[in-house]
Amino acid sequence: MRTLTLDVLRRSLEGVMPSVMATCDQAGTPNVSMISQVHYVDRDHVALSYQFFNKTRQNLLATRRASVTIIDPITYARYRLALDYIETRTEGPLFESMKAKLAGIASHAGMTGVFRLLGSEVFRVRSIELIPTITVPEPTPERDLLTEVRRSYAELSGAGELGELLDLALDCLDRRLGIRNSMALMLDPDTQRLYTLASRGYTRSGVGSEVALGEGVIGVAARERTPIRIGHMTSEYCYGTAVRDSARRFGMDEGQTTEIPFPGLTAPSSQIAVPIMGGRRTLGVLFAESEDTMRFGYDDEDALALVAAHLGTLIMLLPPEDVATQPQASELSEAAPNAAVTVRHYPCDDSVFLDHDYLIKGVAGAILWRLVREYAKSSRTDFTTRELRLDRSLRLPEFAENLDARLVLLRKRLDERSACIRIEKCGRGRFRLLIGIRLVLEEITGEPVEPH
C-alpha cells in the first residue's frame, strides 16, 4: 500500500474544520481538546498553534507525544497523525505565517482577542492513518496550476523592462491562474517601505501607494521573507488608514497630502502575499486578494511563489539600462494656449505637486525635479539613465532595479494624471521628457514643522 505523506494532505491542514488533539501525561492520563490549526511545515513536519499554557502544553513538555485528526474539506476524508514534539518557535517565518492564519481563523470563529499565537509547536510526523469515513470523489480541478505556471514563465521571459514585466505578471495571474485582483510592490531599501508599481483588477491603480514593512500580509511577507496567507480577513491584517500627515509635518498647505490611496478591495475575504527575492535580497512582494473566503490554498501559494521566484530572477537579469527596441510615438494632452502648470518641489521629502495636486515623492520626485529644472534651464528633453545613476544628489539606492522601478513609477503616475508632462523611452538607456505646457517651477524651502 502507498504510504501517505503530508505533501498530498495539505488541503486538510488549512484549518477549515477544527482538529482533535490528544496528549497524555507521564502517568498515562489522556487529554483531548479541539485545536484551531495544524499547519503544514514540510513533508515530515507539522506545527500546531500554542495559544494557552494548559494541560495540553504541560503534557507535550512532559511526554512529547500527540495524536491529531484532520479532515479534507473537499472529499471529507479524515486522517489521524501520530506526532513527536520537537520544539516551539516564537518568531520567524513559520511563526508569522501561522499567526496570520490563526488571526483569520479567530475572526471566523468569533474569537479575535482570545485566540492568540504564543508559539508554533513543531512536530515530526511519525505516522499517518487514513480513517475509514464516508467520502465524496475529488472534483475535477478548474485548471492545472503547474501547467499554467509553466506557460506564465514562457510569457514573462519575453518582457524587456521592469514595468512591462510586472504588468505582464499580473496579467498572467488573471488569465492563467484566475486571480482577478493583484498587485506588485517593490521594496525601497532606504525607507523600508513597499510601493505599488503595478496593479490589476481595481477601479484605481494605486501606483505609488505605500505599505510599511511589517504592515498587513504584504508587509509581514516582505519582513519575514515568507508567503503570508489568510483565508478569513481580520482587521488585524488590514491596512491602516492612519498615514502620517506629512503635509502638515513638513509645513505644506492643508489638503496637500502625499498619500496615494491603497487600491485594495473594500471587503477582501482572502489575501496572499509572496516575497519577490533577488538572491538573498527582498526586491518586493507579489500580492493577490479575493472576496471569496479561503480562496488561496497551499497549491495557489506554490504557484504564486514560483511566479514570484521567476520574477525575482528576471528582475535581476534585466539590463541595468532600460532597453527599448524602438522609440515610442507619444501623444500629449492638448493644453490651452498660454496655459501653465506650477511644479512645486518640497526638498524635505522630495515630494512634487502639479499645481496643488500631489504627484510623487522620494527618489522618483527627486528625478522629476531634476529633469524639469534641466528642461527649464536649457530646454533639454533627452536624458540617460546613466547620468541619473551617477547623480549622487538623487540618493539612489545601490541596486539597478531601484532606478528602473522609480522610472516606471514616475511614468505611470504622469500617465495616470494625464498631465501635460510625460516621460518615454527613446533608446537603450535613454528617455525623453515630453512637455506640452508652460512650466513654472517653485521650490518650497520652509523648515519642516513637527506635528503637535
* Measured distance CA(208)–CA(358) in Å, rounded: 11
Q: Which three cell numbers stand for residue 315?
A: 528582475
* CB nearer another protein, residue 111 or residue 348: 111
* Measured distance CA(220)–CA(21) in Å, rounded: 29
Q: How far is the CB of 228 from another protein (least distance, A)?
A: 23
Q: How far is the CB of 282 from another protein (least distance, A)?
A: 36
Q: Confirm or reject binding of residue 234 to another protein (CB under 8 A).
A: no
Return the range that interacts with another protein (CB under 8 A); candidates 66-74, 137-145, 251-259, 260-268: 66-74
Question: What does the DSSP 8-state code read for residue 115?
Answer: B
CB neighbour burial string for 158-168, b if at least 16 within 10 angstroms, e if fewer: ebebbbebbbb
Q: Which three cell numbers stand for residue 136?
A: 465524496
Q: Confirm or reject binding of residue 348 to another protein (CB under 8 A).
A: no
* CB nearer another protein, residue 29 or residue 342: 29
CB atoms within 10 A of CB 44: 12
Given candidates 38, 47, 48, 71, which one binds another protein under the rule CB under 8 A? Answer: 71
Percent of residues in the chain assigned helix, strand, coil, to nearest 5 = 30, 30, 40
Give, to the nearest 10 degrees, the angle between helix 162-177 and helix 145-156: 160
Q: How far is the CB of 65 from another protein (least distance, A)?
A: 6
Residues 2-41 that bind another protein (CB under 8 A): 16-18, 20-24, 26, 28-34
Residues 81-100 that bind another protein (CB under 8 A): 82
Question: What does the DSSP 8-state code read for residue 292?
Answer: S
Q: How far is the CB of 68 from another protein (least distance, A)?
A: 6
Total residues binding another protein (CB under 8 A): 45
Q: Which three cell numbers stand for residue 290?
A: 479575493
Mark residues 130-159: x for contact with another protein by CB under 8 A, - for none. -xxxxxx-----------------------
Q: Are strands 438-443 and 340-346 parallel, antiparallel or unpaired?
A: parallel
Q: Confirm or reject binding of residue 69 to another protein (CB under 8 A).
A: yes
Task: Point out which residues bind another protein (CB under 8 A).
Answer: 16-18, 20-24, 26, 28-34, 51-52, 54-55, 63, 65-69, 71, 73, 76, 78, 80, 82, 108-111, 114-115, 129, 131-136
